[in-house]
Amino acid sequence: MRRSTLLLLSCAWAVVLHAQPELSITVMLRNPAPYALEQWRSDPTIVQVTVSNLTSSSKRFVLDLSLQNQNTRQEVQTNEMHPCMPVFELAPGQTRTLNGPELICEPSLVYDATIRTQLITTGAIPEGEYRFCVRALDADNRSRELTSSGALCASTQVQWYDPPAIVRPVARDGGLRCDQAIVLNWQPPIPVPAPGSVVYRVRVVGMFEGQLPRQALEAATRSETVVDAEARPATPLAPTTRSCSICSGALHRGALASPGRFRHSRQPRADRSPRAVARRAKARSKPSR
């Protein structure tokens, strides 16, 4: 009987030892997270995963990732069997912090069909509350899980920002002069971002007869650009000398080329906010009558 009890305890202890994770994982995810897919590709501070080897032997592993929208249950995850999945190795007791660009191999990503369509159309992740989870798998036997973030999956929120709206100057402001600084005021994006988290790029260009403001902004050459600078609201912006004559002509016709919208400095000239792109895509898809 004593021998049977000892044998049973030995087996139970062996199971406990076997169940101990071989790696530990800590996940840090920016909250709120940016909606632009390009930022997830390039910014190493959005996602950071810290992995530690808890064993006395080296470990080779891949990290299986999943990002799930808690509102819609739509998901983006990695295909752990894809050959492009990055393989990491830790020596006994070693700890390493990996960031987004290191973690993601884009060909390995598997998208929900709706998310894929939206990413292609707008370049933006759908709005919502998200949960980001990580599993570490044996690089040589990817059906074997070494550890996972489990209940410690990171949570974040993704919001789409409408571009800030210009308040002043208004169109056809007769008091504007080319030899004086231009003072622009605008309302912040909605929802209002955290202080210091947004950089504004302001462009003011000469507008020729028959042009729409958006056409002027997109077609202006360097010599036709009055102001092109990063700025804060109510900051005086000095027109460039080379564009003074064009500026005078534009202002004389009451046509300061301001379409009433500014954009974040990282976005291209056309209004690429997700809502604007989605509206244009929807308009193109409407059948003609």
Query: Which domains can be identified in the chain, with CATH numbers?
Result: 21-158 (2.60.40.10), 166-272 (no CATH)
Q: In the numeric block, which tokens belong to residue 283?
A: 């308009």
What is the Cα–Cα distance from 43 to 257, expressed in whole angstroms? 33
Band of pLDDT at residue 36, cut at 50, 70 and 90: confident
pTM (global) more than 0.85: no
Angle between helices 274-285 and 113-122 (to 10 degrees): 100
pLDDT digits (tens, 9 = 90+) for 194-252: 666 677 777 777 777 777 877 777 777 765 666 666 666 555 555 554 444 444 444 44
Band of pLDDT at residue 172, cut at 50, 70 and 90: low
What is the Cα–Cα distance from 284 to 163, expressed in whole angstroms? 22
Please tell me the least confidently modeled range out of 29-38, 71-80, 82-91. Answer: 29-38
Please tell me the least confidently modeled range out of 11-25, 152-166, 267-281. Answer: 267-281
pLDDT at 150 over 90: no
pLDDT at 192 over 90: no
Average pLDDT, the chain: 74
Q: Is the dihedral of CA 95, 101, 107, 111 positive or negative?
A: positive
What is the Cα–Cα distance from 125 to 68, expressed in whole angstroms? 11
pLDDT at 80 over 80: yes
pLDDT at 9 over 80: no
The backbone region for 177, taken as left when phi is positive above 0, alpha when psi lies in -120 to 50, beta otherwise, is: beta
Q: Is 205 helix (H, G, I), strand (E, B) or coil?
A: strand
Report pLDDT for 18: 42
Residue 116 has phi, psi (to 5 degrees) of: -60, -45
* Beta partners for residue 156, in sequence order: 130
Q: What count of Cα atoms within 13 Å lies in the side-chain half-sphere of residue 143?
A: 0
What is the Cα–Cα distance from 256 to 173, expressed in whole angstroms? 8
